Amino acid sequence: MRMLVSRGALGGAILVIAVAIPQAAPAQRQLVAESASITQFPVPELKSAPRPDRLKTLVPPPPTPQPRRVAILPPRKPTPAPPPSLRVALGTGQWGLINQDRQRAGLVPLLWNDCLATIAKQQAARMASQGYISHANGRTLDLGCHLGTRTGENIGFQSGSINDAAMNTWFMGDAPHRANILGPYHYVGVAWVWGNNRTAYLAVEFG
């Protein structure tokens, strides 16, 4: 019988709490309702207010604060400075000097071709960037201009200034370069490009 009264007293305490705190947070009301649902016996009226220590057991503990997640971003890489612009000179006097050489040899002059000039500019810019002269794929690129099945390329460099006459004299004094100038071509493109070492690099494309 003592056991029965204890359960009845607990049920009465639970019901009083449900009436005493109607404005509690939704989580508290849910907890009280779930606790009241386990009562299986008639609930007698209470002659005294429930003890405070019993009320405390029905109040849910405050939520445990969760640690905030902070995104750690990798450090920003510095933006690289743009490369210095290269000075370009198309044609200059080299084209005219080549046609003078061909005229003296009884050959037809070479016509200017923008496609070959673009390739000459690319080749000269490549040499200016690397700081030395070298043949790469210029003659293969010349074939992409669809001017014929034969192509040729002369390259060179000068320090301090551009002297087309001196460069032309050097070309004509060297058998492979002279063969290109006087070769069976119909078009030409020429470009000088200045490098950062105060040196100008020349590319002459034949097609």
Q: Express each pLDDT in 11-30 by its tens digit.
A: 443 333 333 344 444 444 33
Higher pLDDT, 47 or 65: 65
pLDDT on residue 100? 97
DSSP-based helix, strand, coil % in the chain, nearest 5? 40, 15, 45
Burial 17-41 (b: 16+ CB within 10 A, else e): bbeeeeebeeeeeeebeebeeeeee
Q: Is 38 helix (H, G, I), strand (E, B) or coil?
A: coil
Whether the pLDDT of residue 42 is over 60: the answer is no
Those residues whose C-beta lies under 8 Å from the C-beta of residue 206, and which sit 6 or more positions away, are 110, 116, 142, 151, 152, 153, 154, 180, 183, 185, 187, 188
Q: Which amino acid is at 69?
A: R
Q: Give the single-character DSSP code of 52.
A: H
Q: What is the per-residue pLDDT across 107-154, written as a single tens digit (0 to 9) for each?
A: 999 999 999 999 999 999 999 999 999 998 888 999 999 999 999 999
Give the residue with greater pLDDT, 120 vs 161: 120
Q: What is the pLDDT of residue 90?
A: 81
Model confidence pLDDT, tens digit, residues 52-98: 454 444 555 566 666 666 556 566 665 554 445 568 878 779 999 99
Burial class (CB in 10 A: 0-12, 13-18, 19+), 190: buried
pLDDT of 35: 31
For the entire predicted model, the pTM comes to: 0.59
Better-scored residue on pLDDT, 42 or 87: 87
What is the C-alpha radius of gyration for the chain, rounded to an integer number of angstroms? 47
Query: Are 192 and 202 in contact, with CB atoms under 8 Å apart?
Result: yes
CB 202 within 8 A of CB 94: yes
- Where residue 176 falls among pLDDT bands split at 50, 70, 90? very high
166 in Cβ contact with 173 (< 8 Å) = no
